[in-house]
């Protein structure tokens, strides 16, 4: 048998042994188990619970009605009847209304001027003042859009009563000569949960992997006599076999966690699930591998096991923003676009959201898909290089000891 073939067989056997060792270590270590099993299992459920109401209904609003007329009461009634706004209080003046805003009992003030009725009957234009508390965008949107909608509806009624047409069709044509329709495609509910959660799920996958790998590496280092990452042992002398053996262990765990995160959870909570399974599988393969090699690379920087938490937890939030689901990708400054190239999550989230929530095919996310493969390769090479260095260091320490 040639030495090459022998090397391969021996390497495979070593990789399998390392795989077994790593698996044992993961199962024994409760810190790693928290991040590999508990967090991916529980966090999505928690987040889905937080956002399961999806939209904000019945935002409390206070009315300052200086007109006290038929029209003003109609306006108030119609606002109250809308799904998004609830008329919670009637205030006698603006000061009282302001006090309610200060105590956060209401989110907006509708003020109807005293000449509201007169002006409408005189065929003059009048205005309802809407004051919005800007501490929450969703409530501002609800209060403002409801007022606009109701005013448009009342405007149409006033126009119809003034125009003196005969048939209902004529009246409809008067107020809507051009019909329009707004179609929120892909996520017709427009809910908050189904917008943010797919991205969060994919991000959780990367973050828990990196944290878990970092913790596990930190433990290995602390258990080592010379604080080295790699033990001096017969099976641990090849770079490839270490990286492959460890990755195999993490990959095995994340076959399950990944399926849970990207396939089961969205279905449990009825988020849009438009991706076809071969496409999804094809995407998740490079993504999980890229995350694993990224995690291995990061884990080599970590001296103590807890430091990885200090490094990786806070980046979760910026990473979510860099993926372009909160802040549109088009409007992310170039510098940060460049930074976002470093992280697998950026492209994982983009591709996953577009495939699963927007029904894109693999061909539509080809760019992201390619970048993920490139990232996987690059991080694999870096992971091998840093492990090579670690092995050399371990050997040096060992030989020093021998002397």
| Residues 143-162 within binding reach of another protein (CB under 8 A) | 144, 147-148, 151-152, 154-155, 158-159, 162
Hey, what's the torsion of the CAs at 364, 367, 370, 374, to 10 degrees?
-160
Q: Does 187 participate in binding another protein (rule CB under 8 A)?
A: yes
The residue from 11, 23, 80, 126 that contacts another protein (CB under 8 A) is 126
Give me the sheet containing 108-112, strands edge to edge. Answer: 85-91, 59-65, 108-112
Give dist(CA 12, CA 380) in Å, integer: 17
- Residue 98's CB is within 10 A of a number of other CB atoms, namely 16
CB of 233 to another protein, least distance (A): 19
Q: Within positions 213 to 242, which residues make up the interface with another protein, using CB under 8 A?
A: 215, 219, 222-223
Q: Does 164 participate in binding another protein (rule CB under 8 A)?
A: no
Q: Does 78 participate in binding another protein (rule CB under 8 A)?
A: no
Least Cα distance to 229 among 298, 174, 156 occurs for 298
Q: List the x/- string, 242-281, binding to another protein by CB under 8 A.
A: ----------------------------------------
Which C-beta is closer to another protein: that of 124 or that of 403? 124
Backbone angles phi, psi at 52, to 5 degrees: -70, -15
Length of the chain measured in residues? 403
Identify the residue whose tokens are 């894109």: 360
Q: Within positions 34 to 63, which residues make up the interface with another protein, using CB under 8 A?
A: 34-35, 39, 43, 46-47, 49-53, 55-57, 59
Asked if residues 181 and 98 have their Cβ atoms less than 8 Å apart, the reply is: no
Q: Does 104 participate in binding another protein (rule CB under 8 A)?
A: yes
Q: Does 114 participate in binding another protein (rule CB under 8 A)?
A: no
Q: Does 168 participate in binding another protein (rule CB under 8 A)?
A: no
Own/partner long-range contacts of 277-281 (Cβ < 8 Å, ≥24 apart): 279/355, 279/361, 279/362, 280/355, 280/356
Q: Within positions 339 to 398, which residues make up the interface with another protein, using CB under 8 A?
A: 350, 353-354, 357-361, 364-365
Q: Does 329 participate in binding another protein (rule CB under 8 A)?
A: yes
């Amino acid at each position: 048998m040639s030495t090459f073939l022998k090397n391969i067989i021996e390497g495979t056997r070593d990789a399998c042994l390392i795989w077994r060792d790593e698996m044992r270590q993961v199962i024994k270590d409760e810190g790693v188990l928290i991040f590999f099993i508990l967090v991916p299992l529980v966090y999505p459920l928690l987040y889905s619970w937080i956002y399961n109401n999806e939209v904000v209904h019945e935002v409390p609003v206070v009315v300052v009605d200086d007109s006290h007329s038929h029209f003003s009461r109609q306006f108030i009634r119609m606002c109250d009847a809308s799904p998004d706004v609830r008329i919670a209080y009637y205030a006698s003046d603006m000061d009282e209304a302001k006090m309610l805003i200060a105590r956060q009992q209401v989110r907006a003030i509708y003020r109807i001027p005293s000449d509201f009725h007169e002006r409408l009957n005189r065929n003059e234009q009048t205005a309802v003042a809407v004051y919005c508390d800007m501490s929450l965008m969703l409530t501002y949107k609800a209060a403002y859009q409801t007022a606009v909608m109701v005013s448009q509806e009342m405007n149409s009624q006033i126009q119809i009563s003034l125009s003196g047409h005969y048939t209902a069709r004529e009246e409809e044509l008067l107020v809507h000569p051009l019909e329009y329709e707004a179609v929120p495609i892909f996520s017709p509910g427009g809910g908050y949960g189904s917008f943010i959660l797919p991205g969060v799920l994919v991000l959780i996958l990367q973050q828990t992997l990196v944290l878990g790998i970092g913790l596990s590496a930190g433990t290995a280092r602390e258990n080592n006599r010379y604080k080295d990452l790699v033990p001096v042992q017969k099976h641990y002398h090849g770079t490839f076999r270490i990286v492959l053996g460890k990755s195999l262990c993490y990959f095995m765990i994340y076959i399950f966690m990944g399926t849970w995160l990207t396939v089961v959870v969205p279905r449990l909570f009825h988020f849009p699930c438009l991706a076809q399974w071969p496409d999804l599988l094809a995407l998740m393969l490079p993504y999980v591998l890229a995350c694993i090699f990224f995690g291995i690379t990061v884990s080599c920087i970590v001296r103590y096991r807890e430091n990885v938490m200090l490094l990786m937890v806070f980046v979760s939030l910026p990473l979510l923003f860099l993926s372009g689901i909160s802040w549109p990708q088009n409007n992310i400054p170039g510098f940060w676009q460049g930074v976002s190239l470093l992280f697998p999550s950026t492209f994982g989230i983009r591709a996953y959201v577009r495939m699963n929530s927007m029904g894109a095919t693999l061909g539509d996310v080809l760019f992201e898909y390619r970048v993920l493969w490139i990232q996987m390769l690059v991080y694999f090479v870096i992971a091998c290089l840093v492990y090579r260095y670690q092995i050399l260091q371990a050997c040096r320490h060992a030989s020093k000891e021998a002397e």
